């Protein structure tokens, strides 16, 4: 039987980390090829190619780097890959997955995974997560689902995934909707059908900047007052509750929204912003009147990625459509 082709890229992160000198902690040092060698039997499932595109802690990634990884992944599909798997650090896993999902045009799966325990620790979860991710990327029922993340036996859609614990093995969840699927006895089992997707064009510029500020009790407005002068092209606010800010913040946000696009999301970690419930100064109705877009279920970090991409392809005026689509 002719086996399908599977492409794997290693970017670094905890899944690639080993101890160097005693007492100095773990750092990225395990290549994709070495990680692949820890998964016997994978070559019975697919013809696997692996490349190490970086050995970075995921906080060191940037949009330019992710665009280069995306180009690599698209090339693998052009070369006949049935699916693509990317290993990276979990600190920014939810953001990288969403970045790719906004730009992934193919029916073939793009699957991200990582690890919460380094390769140096007993019970390291990286090999199991990678094998699960490969199974998902090869599964016929994974097609047309965009970018997904596989961790700890669960499959999550990029748009719903959040890291909700700093160190626990079960660090990832999908608030509001739950996982999209599970790995059961080596079978890829989805819990619901694929949803329609909208894919953005690639950004034509990448030098622009989008700020993310979090509302907090009794916060001053100094950064808001200077956000345009500082050269930012867009602003995302992680607001209180259903998308609220203080009266002073509301005033300054109104000024900013006349100059650059502004999105207000909820900082709570779950749930949606409101649209027509609260009428006080700084409530969502007040902010909408001031020209602000409400993020709905899109978390602040992912709203920032969306706005950066939209500005990059000169579609920032369409932000409401993508937030509510």
- Whether residue 320 is predicted with pLDDT greater than 70 in this model: the reply is yes
Q: Would you please indicate which residues are annotated as catalytic (active-site) residues?
A: 14
Burial of 39 per CB tally in 10 Å (0-12, 13-18, 19+):
middle
* Domains of the chain: residue spans and CATH: 5-190 (3.40.50.1170), 210-324 (3.40.50.40)
Confidence of residue 131 (pLDDT cuts 50, 70, 90): very high
- Whether residue 37 is predicted with pLDDT greater than 90 in this model: the reply is no
Average pLDDT along the chain = 95
CA distances from 266 to 12, 243, 248, 297 (A): 31, 5, 18, 8
Nearest CA to 133 out of 117, 118, 155 is that of 155
pLDDT in tens, 106-122: 999 999 999 999 988 88
- Whether residue 289 is predicted with pLDDT greater than 80 in this model: the reply is yes
Confidence of residue 200 (pLDDT cuts 50, 70, 90): very high
Which pTM value belongs to this model? 0.96
- Dmax over CA atoms of the chain, in Å, equals 67
Confidence of residue 182 (pLDDT cuts 50, 70, 90): very high
Identify any residues that bridge with 26 across adjacent strands, giving them in sequence order: 19
Nearest CA to 108 out of 71, 136, 150, 72 is that of 136
Q: Which pLDDT score, from 0 to 100, does residue 325 have?
A: 55
For residues 112 and 10, the answer to whether their CB atoms sit within 8 Å is no
Q: Give CA–CA dist 304/260, Å, rounded.
A: 13
213-216 CB contacts, 8 Å cutoff, 24+ apart: 213/237, 213/238, 214/238, 214/267, 214/300, 215/239, 215/240, 215/244, 215/245, 215/246, 215/249, 215/267
Q: Give CA–CA dist 31/16, Å, rounded.
A: 7
Angle in degrees, CA 179, 183, 185, rounded to 5: 150
pLDDT in tens, 213-242: 999 999 999 999 999 999 999 999 999 999
Q: Give CA–CA dist 270/263, Å, rounded.
A: 17
């Amino acid at each position: 039987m002719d086996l399908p082709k599977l492409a794997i890229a290693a970017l670094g992160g905890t899944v690639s980390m080993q101890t160097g000198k005693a007492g100095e902690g773990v750092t990225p040092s395990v290549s994709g090829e070495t990680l692949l060698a820890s998964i016997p039997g994978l070559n019975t499932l697919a013809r696997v190619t692996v490349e190490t595109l970086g050995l970075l802690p995921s906080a060191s990634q940037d949009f330019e780097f992710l665009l280069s990884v995306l180009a690599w992944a698209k090339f693998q599909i052009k070369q006949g890959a049935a699916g693509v798997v990317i290993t990276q650090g979990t600190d920014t896993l939810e953001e990288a997955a969403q970045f790719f999902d906004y730009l992934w045009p193919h029916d073939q799966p793009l699957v991200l995974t990582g690890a919460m325990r380094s390769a140096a620790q007993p019970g390291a979860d990286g090999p199991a997560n990678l094998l699960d991710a490969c199974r998902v990327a090869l599964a016929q029922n994974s097609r047309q689902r965009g970018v997904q993340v596989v961790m700890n036996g669960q499959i999550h859609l990029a748009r719903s995934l959040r890291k909700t614990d700093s160190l626990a093995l079960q660090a990832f969840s999908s608030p509001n909707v739950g996982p999209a699927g599970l790995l059961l006895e080596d079978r890829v089992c989805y819990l619901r059908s694929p949803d329609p997707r909208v894919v953005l064009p690639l950004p034509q510029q990448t030098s622009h900047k989008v700020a993310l500020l979090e509302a907090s009790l009794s916060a001053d407005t100094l950064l808001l007052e200077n956000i345009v002068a500082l050269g930012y092209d867009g602003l995302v606010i992680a607001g209180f509750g259903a998308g609220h800010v203080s009266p002073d913040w509301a005033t300054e946000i109104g000024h900013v929204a006349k100059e650059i696009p502004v999105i207000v999301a909820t900082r709570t970690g779950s749930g949606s912003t409101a649209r027509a419930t609260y009428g006080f100064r700084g409530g969502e109705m007040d902010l909408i009147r001031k020209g602000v877009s409400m993020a709905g279920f899109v978390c602040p970090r992912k709203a920032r990625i969306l706005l950066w991409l939209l500005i990059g392809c000169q579609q920032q005026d369409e932000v409401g459509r993508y937030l509510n689509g």
